[in-house]
Amino acid sequence: MSRIIRLESASRDRTKLLRWAGAALLRLRAADVSGAERRDILAFLCLTLKQVAASVDKTASSWESRSYWVKGDRFRGEWEWAGVLAQKLSQIPGKSAHELPEQVAAELSARLETLGMLGKRVHASPWHGAEAGMKRLEATGRR
């Protein structure tokens, strides 16, 4: 069996995911967003932040395997917010809330603004169908 070489790093994945999250948050603030699209965006933000948290863990564990424990712990601490916000978003009752809770929206906006990802434009709408994907994950118990 041959070795699988992954060309994209966890850092590049995080950047791409955060750019998409910034675009989704900007779209969520638009006045012409339908209820179904709003639910898709909320589910997309939740799934995206979970993937960001997983990529942080992957980066930190690779540093820890090289005996850089302090660096790994510090990195996890800096990015802990992604997992916390994903948890808050997953607890929105039934994902049918019409508004993103103001505290979560403000914190996410501040984090994305600090990282320079809030003003980035994405020419696609990667959040379409995210609610159905989230429901499938919940049904299988993979949350």
User: Domain residues of the chain, as ranges?
Assistant: 10-140
Alpha carbons within 13 angstroms on the beta-carbon side of residue 28 total: 27
pLDDT over 70 percentage in the chain: 76
Cα 37-127-130 angle, rounded to 5 deg? 85
Radius of gyration of the chain (CA): 16
Site of tokens 């049918």: 96
Please give the pLDDT value at position 127.
Answer: 73
With contact defined as beta carbons under 8 Å apart, do 105 and 2 qualify? no
With contact defined as beta carbons under 8 Å apart, do 13 and 55 qualify? yes
Lowest mean pLDDT segment, chosen from 12-16, 70-74, 86-90, 123-127: 123-127
Is the predicted pLDDT of residue 50 greater than 90, yes or no? yes
> CA-to-CA distance for 49 and 68, rounded, in angstroms?
25
Please give the pLDDT value at position 49.
Answer: 93
Is this model's pTM higher than 0.95 or not?
no
Model confidence over 73-125: pLDDT tens digits? 999 999 999 999 998 888 775 545 555 677 788 888 888 888 887 766 666 67
